[in-house]
Chain A
Amino acid sequence: MRFTSIVMSTESTHPTPELIEAMGKLADREIKAGRMLDTAGLMPLATGARVTIQDGKLSVVDGPFVEAKEVVGGYAIFELQSKEEAVALAVEFMQLHKDLMPGWEGTCEVRPYFEPGTEGICDPLAEARA
């Protein structure tokens, strides 16, 4: 099963060198264990853009944005056996933040990938493929 872990926090925070080192070690271990397929950090929101539909109107707005409370800072893609494993890895990852970056607040969201044949889930790309 494939999962992605998405880390979100307030934009102003920058990880401490200790945290960066510890996260690097964790990522290294996960790559060596063959579980992590991909990972990346994202540039600040100000460097991105948003394409929005609101009131039936489509608009493109370049960053920076006024109201950005939670911003995606990075993600990792895993190939695992169960959701429990994905959660255990997210807990380990967040524990590092708790230990090495006191005061930091944020979320690590764990999401399984859509897989063909998964019941009760709408496949947004089904029509495009057909």
Chain B
Amino acid sequence: MTVASTHQTILAVWRIEQPRLITSLARLLRDVPLAEDLTQETLTVALERWPKTGIPERPGAWLMTTAKRRALDHLRRRRMLDQKHEMIIREMEEEEQIMPDLDTPLDDDIGDEMLRLIFTACHPLISREARVALALRMICGLTTSEIARAFLVTEAAIAQRIVRAKRTLSESGLAYETPHGEQLSQRLASVLEVIYLIFNEGYTAARGDNWFRLQLCNEALRLGRVLTSVAPREPEAHALLALMELNASRAAARTDAAGNPILLLEQNRSRWDQLQIQRGLKALMRAQELDGAGGIYALQAAIIACHAKAMAADETDWRRIADLYAELAGLLHSPIVELNRAVAVGMVEGPEAALDIVESLRDEPALKDYHLLPSVRGDLLYKLGRYDEAWRAFEAAAALAENKRERDFLMRRAGGAAAAAKG
């Protein structure tokens, strides 16, 4: 094995083991930032040693043993400082008696620890951006430079966010624990928000030319899957996972060979990922079984499920979609939901009825710069044969679109409406 490929292998093993290393150390040390530092140190040790010694037979156990020894060393150095540590050291030293036993899989039940780690990384005290960075680093094992690349910011900026977040965690003396009852639902909302933020950042990259950044979607999906397996009784966690799986299932069909977006109704449905659709529908069903059918994520997932279940675009149950949007609008009071409802209403009752809703949204301050408002309006006007107005609406939409692919697409639609107006 060459040095480069050894390094690749070490990084791969480390990525697989890292969340377990952090959660185990965090449990022993009651200190997440320190656990994260020591886990990074363990990687350095492996990168130094394994190219010389070869990769051990049970690399995961090796990493765990090394990480725990580091933690023990650390505590020994601070032994005199803290009575509490004295007790932990004794526990760990007892454990070390049996430690060379690498055959025993270490820390099998990491579920609760993992949940604690997720809640810690997504703590509301930390800024949203830093929560995203921490989650991607500590739970997904992404490197600082990978996170920076995904979010189109400098590595230094991400590193700084992580350092600051870790300092906040240390200084605030946050309990490393899973909250209960009402606190849990409040905190869970923050966790779900962070995961969905990561997913959306990847699904429709707001800036730049790259319309689709799959990597972030995949990491968000992973976080969602981790969350549902460690918090299996939370309906909204399953619902968010359903929403993400169902959205991601369309990835391959969303762009043409040149990278231009293809609208939902024009997508080649045989390219939708059936494995992901089945996973999504199953997660949605789980959310509904847990009495979570009326949740914000569950309603959105149910809407996407209507599309996923339709083998052809004209088999779509638009009536149900319009109803679901109405229910969602009742919860969110969001003009964007209302705009989406208009699209569904247009499919059931015709463009005239939809245009009434859209026109009522034109003075919404929140939609002032939202390109999809004139875009939907343009589409409805076009269907009504009001090509002149449709043309101007598409042009207005293109002027507002921040993503180049979308802008190009809207310019083409404007061109089509202009031609129809003149023809």
Interface residues of A (CB under 8 A from B): 22, 25, 29, 31-35, 37-38, 77, 79, 81-82, 84-85, 87-89, 92, 95, 99, 115-117, 125, 128-129
Contact = CB atoms under 8 A, between A and B. Distances in A.
Contacts of B103: 99
Given A33-B222, A77-B275, A79-B218, A128 B270 contact: yes
Nearest to A84: B12
Nearest to A130: B268
Interface of B: 5, 8-9, 11-13, 15-16, 19, 57-60, 103, 105, 108, 110-111, 114, 215, 218, 221-226, 229-230, 252, 257, 268, 270-271, 275, 279
B140 to A, nearest CB: 9
A88 B12 CA distance: 7
B279 A37 contact: yes
Contacts of A25: 105, 108
B226 A32 contact: yes
A115 B252 CA distance: 8
Scoring A25, A37, A81, A125 by chain B CB atoms within 10 A of each residue's CB, the highest score goes to A81
A34 B225 CA distance: 5
Contacts of B215: 81
Nearest to A1: B218
Contacts of B15: 81, 85
A38 B57 CA distance: 26
Given A31-B229, A32-B111, A116-B271, A87 B218 contact: no
Given A33-B226, A37-B279, A95 B58 contact: yes
B279 A34 contact: no
A88 B9 contact: yes
A129 to B, nearest CB: 5
A129 B252 CA distance: 12
A75 B13 CA distance: 21
Contacts of B225: 31, 34
Given A33-B19, A81-B15, A87 B226 contact: no
A79 B222 contact: yes
A79 B16 contact: no
Nearest to B227: A34
Q: Which 8 A-B pairs have the closest CB atoms?
A: A34-B225, A84-B12, A34-B222, A85-B12, A32-B229, A88-B12, A84-B8, A34-B226
Contacts of B105: 22, 25
Contacts of A34: 221-226, 229
Given A25-B108, A37-B275, A32 B230 contact: yes
Nearest to B226: A34
7 contacts: A32-B226, A33-B19, A38-B275, A82-B8, A95-B57, A99-B103, A129-B271
A99 B275 CA distance: 33
A4 B373 CA distance: 43
Given A32-B111, A32-B230, A129-B268, 20 more contacts: A22-B105, A25-B108, A32-B110, A32-B114, A33-B16, A33-B226, A34-B222, A34-B223, A34-B229, A37-B275, A38-B275, A77-B275, A82-B8, A82-B12, A85-B16, A88-B9, A88-B16, A95-B57, A125-B270, A128-B270
